[in-house]
Structure 1
């Protein structure tokens, strides 16, 4: 897993545990490594919003949209940030803009509905006095009156069922207060009291399960969710509450690193109520399962056996079957560059140059000093009639071992191609969009003219990294030469 993904996972974990500052720090570090990753800005926007830092949440949401204008979640983040700032018209506009890209998106539809309600309430509260009535002038000594508190309902006026629901809710609300303070023992006490009063409400089981999850007692969390689902189905609970319990079971199994069970429960939750959050969790746990299975399959000893079988078939000229054994060897030991190099040799023999080139790039990525990877890359590029790029690959090999005969011969043959057919070199180079862009740049054309008239000027220009990269690209393409 790359450093960026590690930091993203760290941030996601902290965010799930309400450690907002830790999550923000992790996402910020990841963004420093990959500033064009729209998902990182989206996640940090969520963390800022949960921390109440809505201005920063809005800035990250707008950056998310800038990087990926068609991604619905960016607009959801923007709407949420505007809502936190009480910018209800802007929030409504953000949700509406997102729905243009995904008209059925549940988060955007729900967000816009909530904003519509909030906007109506806001306008109602702030509606001005009609113009034909003079508003009374408040006396300076008068203090604004506190709005009257709603009267407590009288228990004697309630039916037995209403009384039960009312008293259970009061216990639950008290428990919620303790839960927010992370006083989980007292939260549990009041949730259990609510359950004693009304054992038919799935919400109380869900709340108890949430406490156990926070306490990392995942087995008990699962038991409570299962009881809640059973009670919920018996009493025709809202499918969203059933989905919430199923998702929490999935989260518990994920914490227990039982990813297959987590996948089962996320899929069950999706069947009850599809949300982007559960879909994301399902995708992440599926990736975990694949990674676990990949790692479990690794066996360097069996990889060596498969490689030897591949080598024997290669010597016999049976390249197709040799590829099968090299592929199995790679599955058994994916970090061995020699295996990719051997398979690249088979692809080269079969003229499958694009596949061979990918294998060469992989073995070089695994070991930048693996000289065979550069030589095979050079040969493939020669086969693809890309002599300039082949020459650059041989140059890399010679930097590692200047006396390597294959690299010397490869570089020499490429140089002869340049010398014998400069028009072909120019034609190949100009087919490269990057070369075209460099030559169209007026500043680079001035620099190239100066280098032609003043050869020593190249040393000064190479001190500028951006210009040096462009000059090296032109050198590799054969467009220019420095003697």
Structure 2
């Protein structure tokens, strides 16, 4: 039960590689556990599905196009946005929960892989019809707080993790991910009623902001 709960919490936080290792460790100790075997199968199916999703930021000439556009050239001069862009190109799964307050920016990319369309400030990540997707980059400060929270979570410093996730939520209140992270911490602390309340709140925020259904389903 312990390995299964921990793996589920890691999966809830989007830390899929760690969740996979947790399931594998559990199966080393409990090789006949049907719950662990099913959890690992479901997780690997999800990981395979996410790897098949094309990365709209994966165009080889993306940076050249951004530099050539006067509306995006200045953004590339900001280290935090360049760092974030590089991270999203390496980890496209992070695009799934990218809704930000004032100061965010997005692009509508069309025409198939590597296509480029009209620049626009987006209200969130959403499909814009066949071959098009609007990508809104997350708030860099909120992502930093999330990473600090994840590090504290791994150390089992749960109160510290809650503080970082709370600040991330303040910086980016329309992103359900940070609420879900708070819920996962309360789950680990055994505060199940508070966990349930936050899960319901995360779902409400996700639906309000047209979050990807897969993110809401977590």
Q: TM-score, normalised by structure 2?
A: 0.50
CA contact (8 A) 2:26 2:36 kept: no
Which residue, 210, 214, 217 being the options, matches 2:150? 214
CA contact (8 A) 2:145 2:164 kept: yes
Q: Which residue of 2 aligns with 1:169?
A: 81
Q: Which residue of 2 aligns with 1:21?
A: 21
Q: Give the whole-Å Cα distance in 2 for the aligned partners of 1:268 and 1:42.
A: 28
Q: Which residue of 1 aligns with 2:5?
A: 9
Q: Which residue of 2 aligns with 1:228?
A: 171
Written as runs of structure 1 = structure 2, the 5 A alignment for 1:184-203 is 198=103, 202-203=138-139
Could you say if the C-alpha distance between residues 173 and 203 of structure 1 is closer, same or farther in structure 2, counting changes exceeding 3 Å? same
CA distances 1:28-71 after superposition (whole Å, capped 9, x unpaired): 54451x4xx3x433311255x3xxxxxxxxxxxxxxxxxxxxxx
How many residues end up aligned between the 2 structures? 156
Q: Which residue of 1 aligns with 2:192?
A: 259
Instruction: Compute the displacement of 1:279 (Å).
Output: 5.4
CA contact (8 A) 2:162 2:182 kept: no
Unaligned runs of 5+ residues in structure 2 are: 92-99, 106-136, 153-159, 208-212
Could you say if the C-alpha distance between residues 243 and 227 of structure 1 is closer, same or farther in structure 2, counting changes exceeding 3 Å? same
CA contact (8 A) 2:3 2:23 kept: no
Larger Cα Rg: Structure 1 or Structure 2? 1
CA contact (8 A) 2:146 2:168 kept: no
Q: Give the whole-Å Cα distance in 1 for the aligned partners of 2:87 and 2:69.
A: 26
Which residue, 39, 57, 78 being the options, matches 1:43? 39
CA distances 1:287-309 after superposition (whole Å, capped 9, x unpaired): xxxxxxxxxxxxxxxxxxxxxxx
Could you say if the C-alpha distance between residues 27 and 210 of structure 1 is closer, same or farther in structure 2, counting changes exceeding 3 Å? farther
Q: Which has the higher helix share?
A: 1
Could you say if the C-alpha distance between residues 276 and 224 of structure 1 is closer, same or farther in structure 2, counting changes exceeding 3 Å? same
Could you say if the C-alpha distance between residues 41 and 156 of structure 1 is closer, same or farther in structure 2, counting changes exceeding 3 Å? closer
Q: Give the whole-Å Cα distance in 1 for the aligned partners of 2:148 and 2:188.
A: 13
Match of 2:65, SS? Answer: coil
The alignment status of 1:245 with 2:178, answered yes or no, reads yes
CA contact (8 A) 2:182 2:198 kept: yes
Q: Which residue of 1 aligns with 2:202?
A: 269
Unaligned runs of 5+ residues in structure 1 are: 50-76, 87-113, 119-147, 180-194, 233-241, 281-483
CA contact (8 A) 1:251 1:262 kept: yes
Instruction: Compute the displacement of 1:266 (Å).
Output: 0.8
Q: Identify which of structures 1 and 2 has the higher relative contact order when contacts are C-alpha pairs closer than 8 Å and 6+ apart.
A: 2
Instruction: Compute the displacement of 1:247 (Å).
Output: 1.3
Could you say if the C-alpha distance between residues 228 and 13 of structure 1 is closer, same or farther in structure 2, counting changes exceeding 3 Å? same
CA distances 1:215-238 after superposition (whole Å, capped 9, x unpaired): 2131332332322334x4xxxxxx
Q: Give the whole-Å Cα distance in 2 for the aligned partners of 1:41 and 1:173.
A: 36
Q: Give the whole-Å Cα distance in 2 for the aligned partners of 1:251 and 1:157.
A: 41
Instruction: Compute the displacement of 1:260 (Å).
Output: 2.9
Q: TM-score, normalised by structure 1?
A: 0.26
Instruction: Compute the displacement of 1:154 (Å).
Output: 6.4
Could you say if the C-alpha distance between residues 80 and 28 of structure 1 is closer, same or farther in structure 2, counting changes exceeding 3 Å? same
CA distances 1:273-321 after superposition (whole Å, capped 9, x unpaired): 36567656xxxxxxxxxxxxxxxxxxxxxxxxxxxxxxxxxxxxxxxxx
